[in-house]
Amino acid sequence: MKKPSLIPLSRPSISNADIAAVSAVLRSGWLTMGPVAAEFENKLSQSVGRRPVLAVSSGTAALHLALTLAGVGKNDEVITTPMTFAATANVILMTGARPIFADIDPETWNIDPAKIEQAITERTKVIMPVHFAGRPCDMEKINSIAARHKLKVIEDAAQAFGASYQGKSIGSGENFVCFSFHPMKEITTIEGGALVLPGADLLPLAKRIRFHGIEKDAWKTFKGVQTDIPYDVSVLGYKYNMSDVSAALGLSQLKRERSFFKKRGEIARAYIAALKSVEGITVPMKDSAQPPSSWNLFHILLDDGISRRDFMAALKQNGVASGIYYRALHQTTLYKNLLGDLDGKFPNAERFSGQATAIPIFPEMTENEIDTVVNAVKKALRRVKESCVSK
């Protein structure tokens, strides 16, 4: 008998229209950054209050570009959360700067503004909050701290495209904002991201840094517009441009972004309603007054003493995939070697890192799959608790 497939943690929603949009670019004769990428940037700009936007090759590229444009370099410090994907801190190292971690709030799982203030030194140049799992940080407090200490803010919104804060979409404020369009995100370009700039004055330099520091438009050369003009390299740049193939998929996905957002919210609310009173776990955002999340991930936090490994194994036996997103960065080998032993310094992040489990959430989940996940969580908890008692 064929073993039933697991409900995956995530699954991209790819339509026939998406495939047709990509096919059209593949047939066009121009595949790399060109007019489709420019159109994608324009649509993204409209979604964030018409702020200047650069489409790039990944969310990581967006973060690195933002730090570079913010002037972060050797001996600078950037304050961020240890509870995030490795890219958030890795890009800080790439500039020669030093990541300084601040603990998370135990209720929201986002960086705690009070801990940010305590971490500021004379070397601090940037605060980099992460909208964890798509839930907006307390940007009013963070921006106030930054203004008081004359610091720049770079929002890692890799998981928060489509979310809003105080009635405005994430990205429509005044900071650098970095998005990711990985297949697990709200919309996908397969691999890709975007950088929202604080002002249009940075756009020419940002475009040059995005593509090797070169001051020439390859698309115009292809079209025969500027074939006789030699290019110049004016600054150190990188290979961070987005292809028209990726942008075509992004443009098509944008047409359904609101429906994706709505469905993710419906799934999250169904999980919260079904699991908020279950003993042994904590679910996110039981308080509806919190700002709308894009629900890139849905975590359940196991009580201390409940084995996450056993719980995840039991979920799998009941047909449900799960994942660990993420491990606290100060507990990884790289950051232990660089920053020393910081165990015990960030207790809230460490508890979340050790006990949080992500369960499936994606727009095409059926009601039956949602029910299966809920029932699997309850069964897995019972099994793990019974196992603990028997021991």
Q: What is the pLDDT of residues 25-60, one digit of tens each?
A: 999 999 999 999 999 999 999 999 999 999 999 999
Tell me the average pLDDT across 255-279: 96
The pLDDT value recorded for residue 292 is 81
Number of helices (H) and strands (E) in the chain: give both, helices first. 14, 12
pLDDT band at 215 (very low <50, low <70, confident <90, very high): confident
Q: What is the pLDDT of residues 349-365, one digit of tens each?
A: 999 999 999 999 999 99
Q: What is the pLDDT of residues 76-99, one digit of tens each?
A: 999 999 999 999 999 999 999 999
Q: Is 263 a catalytic residue?
A: no
Q: Please tell me the distance from the alpha carbon of residue 164 to that of residue 145, in angstroms, as a whole number.
A: 21
Distances (CA, A) of 5 to 257, 320, 368, 376: 27, 9, 14, 14
Q: Taking 90 as the threshold, does the pLDDT of residue 130 lie above it?
A: yes
CATH fold of 16-256, please?
A: Aspartate Aminotransferase; domain 2 (3.40.640)
**% the chain with pLDDT above 70:** 93
Q: Taking 50 as the threshold, does the pLDDT of residue 295 lie above it?
A: yes
Please check whether residue 332 is in contact with residue 316, taking contact to mean a CB–CB distance below 8 angstroms.
no
More confident residue, 214 or 367: 367
Catalytic residue among 115, 125, 152, 185: 185
Q: Taking 90 as the threshold, does the pLDDT of residue 289 lie above it?
A: no
What are the helix (H) ranges across 109-213? 113-119, 139-149, 203-210
The pLDDT value recorded for residue 5 is 86
Q: Taking 50 as the threshold, does the pLDDT of residue 116 lie above it?
A: yes
More confident residue, 288 or 257: 257
Q: What is the pLDDT of residues 370-381, one digit of tens each?
A: 999 999 999 999
Please check whether residue 179 is in contact with residue 62, taking contact to mean a CB–CB distance below 8 angstroms.
yes
Give me the CATH code for the 258-390 domain, please. 3.90.1150.10
Q: Taking 50 as the threshold, does the pLDDT of residue 1 lie above it?
A: no
Domain map (residue ranges) of the chain: 16-256, 258-390
Q: Taking 70 as the threshold, does the pLDDT of residue 4 lie above it?
A: no
